[in-house]
Amino acid sequence: MTKMKIAVAGASGRMGRMLIEAIVNADDAELAGALDLPGTPGIGSDAASFLGKPAGVAIDSDLSRALASSQFLIDFTRPEGTLKHLAYCAENGIKMIIGTTGFDEAGKAAIAEAARRTAIVFAPNMSVGVNVTMKLLEMAAKSFSEGYDIEIIEAHHRYKVDAPSGTALKMGEVIAGALGRKLDDVAVYAREGVTGERDPSSIGFATIRGGDIVGDHTVLFAGIGERVEITHKSSSRVTYAHGSMRAARFLAGRETGLYDMQDVLGLR
């Protein structure tokens, strides 16, 4: 069996370690590179030493060295870092699995452009459960298109730097699309003071940050006399790692193109 040669960006972080563990434990993959910022304490150490079974791959801050033997890069870092990695991967034909959130429109356009030269799975949440939930939300929105108010409530740990979460925004986009709307036209991100009655066409967002919450998302469809709540709760980042491995396997047979987890899971 030819194994997928996968590198991990942010290799010293919590998500990076989850990804490394998933790769090391997969029969069809091997850790080929580990990338992190200059000055990170782990630079130069074996990327899998925390598992008690070294992989023979040192964490490196040099992009070309870290990716020299890699076919794939899994990146859950920050937009500015991911975009630097993206340019290198597109130039060198390295496929990417991007779980980074917080991109502006220019960043998203850069990803789409890079996908003309290499294959990319770009999703704000790699969890299989979250992406099945997205499909359920699409179905629910079509049925609750009249007489129901839609609110999205998300909660994450105290260290998360963007809000609302990329997953919450994607949920909003899926719901708005199912209703024939654009999220930018109907989203309400904050309420304070005398706001007046709720616009029935709006999609509201509420953000909670605290403690070590991995990620909770609830979409509320509130009608008169009843309400329906669709909730997904993550108790471990391991679900993102397992979804990323499925994304890598999906890309193995593709040279170019921009995909998301709905494509990976055959939910289109």
Q: Known catalytic residues?
A: 156, 160
β-bridge partners, 120 = 96, 258
Handedness of CA 209, 176, 102, 10 (dihedral sign): positive
How far apart are the C-alpha atoms of 46 and 69, rounded to whole Å? 16
When computed from its CA atoms, the radius of gyration of the chain, rounded to whole angstroms, is 20
Distances (CA, A) of 19 to 122, 126, 162: 16, 12, 21
**Amino acid in the structure at residue 128:** V
In this structure, the number of other CB atoms found within 10 A of the CB of residue 206 comes to: 17
Indicate the residue type of 248.
A
